[in-house]
Amino acid sequence: MGASTGKRSSVERPAPLRRALLRWYDSAARDLPWRRTSDPYRIWVSEVMLQQTRVAVVIDKFQRFVGRFPSLESLAAAPEDDVLAVWSGLGYYSRARALHRAAQQLARQQRSFPTDYEEALQLPGVGKYTAAAVVSIAYGTPRAAVDGNVIRVVSRLRRLQLPDSRGRPHAAIADDLLDRSRPGDWNQAMMELGATVCTPRDPDCPHCPIRAHCAAHLTGVVELHPPAKRRRSIEKVRLTMIVQRDRRGRVLLERGVFRFLPDMWLPLVAAAQEAEPGEDDAVEITHAITHRSFRVRVVRRGATKPARPVIGAGGERRWFTEKALAAIPRSSLLDKALAVA
């Protein structure tokens, strides 16, 4: 069977579909901390955190972040290192830096997150999805927020292929379906459906509130929509990290050296060469960052042996006590290395 052209399907009737989805969302929506507020700042923070990160991971990080930076002004006034330290564990640290810069820009202008969608797009790190999500949820502005979950739901409703580079035709269909009387709830309902029912694999069609409107379900081809993306090849990287401690128990860390995590404090990074036989204790760990897979040889070194030179330029080194480690920008790679050394 051929794919839909994107025109309105005979099985899809927007008014009944909207009622069915919003009724389901009102009764089945997960109780998440950012859904208990209308504060645009907190909604904005949650949307940035949720990009490419599972809800279960974000919940505690969100509460910690807004506990430390309860307002846009407090975030803007904080040093970047403090922001990155509180963000630690979420990954994709460019998100935190952009959020911080945007908060500083708004604070200088003595403004909150813009109510206007186009104006929101001018902020650092704010793209079409984030702008639409925040203005619709916080202000009730009728803008469809289109993320991966929404693309999947729309693809199945209309039996579409993947969207093009501009998001067409999925974005236009999402806007056509949008409930303009409850745009924030509608956007969250679409995302909630994609995250919990209309999942990439093994979708729970029997419990889908809009299955009667879904062309892919009615024709038995749900698993074919959207078609699987071509997977990006995994780059494999080998390296050695030296965990060096002094007699006081402090650990020597560096940053600005490991190009994949330039803002994070890490053990001393060396090339993947083998250590001299018997000179160090070593354990191998693995780590993944987006499409890269790392095999890291972690070498434990005592205070009597000098640290190896920094590989590359622009790095800095400092000794950290156990207590000080809790207040620095850190990747889970550092936690893994310290755990075995």
Give the residue numbers marked as catalytic.
Answer: 47
Tell me if 327 sits within 8 A of 272, measured CB to CB: no
Residues sharing a CB contact under 8 Å with residue 13, sequence separation 6 or more, in sequence order: 213
Q: How far apart are CA 157 and CA 4, in angstroms?
A: 10
The DSSP element (H or E) to which 236 belongs, if any, is: strand 235-245
Residues 6+ apart with CB under 8 A from 210: 17, 20, 21, 24, 157, 193
Structure-token pair, residue 16: 């009944």
Is 287 within 8 Å of 336 (Cβ atoms)? yes
Residues 6+ apart with CB under 8 A from 335: none
What is the token pair recorded at 337? Answer: 């290395």
What is the amino acid identity at position 311? I
Complete DSSP assignment for 310-324: PSSSS-EEEEE-HHH
DSSP, res 265: B
Cβ proximity of 264 and 330 under 8 Å: yes
For residues 279-295, one letter each, b for 16 or more C-beta atoms within 10 angstroms of the residue's C-beta and e for the rest, the string is ebebeebebebeeeebe
CA distance 204 to 222: 10
CA distance 164 to 226: 12
DSSP 223: G
d(CA 219, CA 203): 15
